[in-house]
């Protein structure tokens, strides 16, 4: 399974269903199930909006969820109405910052599986993913 490292607290917000897209500077044509890996970095912990509660628990250096990556859209296309109403929810979503938004659905939290992350997509062994999360 492909996996994507996401800094905390954002990986946990995805696992909790509070963040529906992941922002990247690069697009992807990949669609399908991915593992959400919570990175070890703690540098982003103070970037959460002041009125948004911090996720708890918040694991580091582990795969914590799976998700279906269903689309990759340019945030400017959403803002300009190029995509119609399909992703209108992003206009009011404080977590949609772009420039590219990886749209995630069917998120399934799992017990954290310690694993080393990487930049971009990387391989996470299917045998480590619980059956109910595949």
Q: Return the closest-CA partner of residue 123 out of 6, 9, 35.
A: 35
pLDDT in tens, 83-118: 999 999 999 999 999 999 999 999 999 999 999 999
Q: What is the pTM of this model?
A: 0.93
- Percentage with pLDDT > 90 across the chain: 81
| CA-to-CA separations, 51 to 45, 47, 54, 94, 118, in angstroms, rounded | 14, 11, 9, 11, 31
Cis peptide before 35 (omega within 30 of 0): no
Q: Return the closest-CA partner of residue 101 out of 126, 84, 131, 79.
A: 79
User: 22 by DSSP, 3-state: which?
Assistant: strand
Q: To which residue do tokens 């103070």 refer? A: 46
Which pLDDT score is estimated for 44? Answer: 77
Which pLDDT score is estimated for 116? Answer: 96
- CATH of 2-124 given 2.40.160.20, 3.40.50.2000, 2.30.130.30, 3.40.50.80: 2.30.130.30
């Amino acid at each position: 399974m492909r996996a994507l490292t996401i800094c905390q607290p954002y990986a946990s917000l995805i696992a909790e269903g509070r963040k529906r897209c992941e922002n990247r500077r690069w697009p992807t044509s990949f669609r399908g199930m991915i593992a959400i890996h919570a990175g070890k970095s703690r540098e982003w912990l103070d970037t959460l909006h002041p009125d948004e509660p911090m996720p708890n628990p918040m694991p580091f250096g582990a795969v914590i969820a799976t998700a279906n990556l269903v689309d990759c859209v340019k945030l400017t296309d959403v803002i300009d109405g190029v995509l119609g109403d399909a992703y209108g929810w992003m206009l009011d979503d404080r977590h949609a910052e772009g420039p590219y938004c990886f749209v995630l659905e069917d998120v399934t939290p799992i017990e954290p599986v310690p694993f080393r992350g990487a930049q971009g997509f990387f391989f996470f062994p299917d045998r480590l993913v619980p059956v109910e999360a595949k």
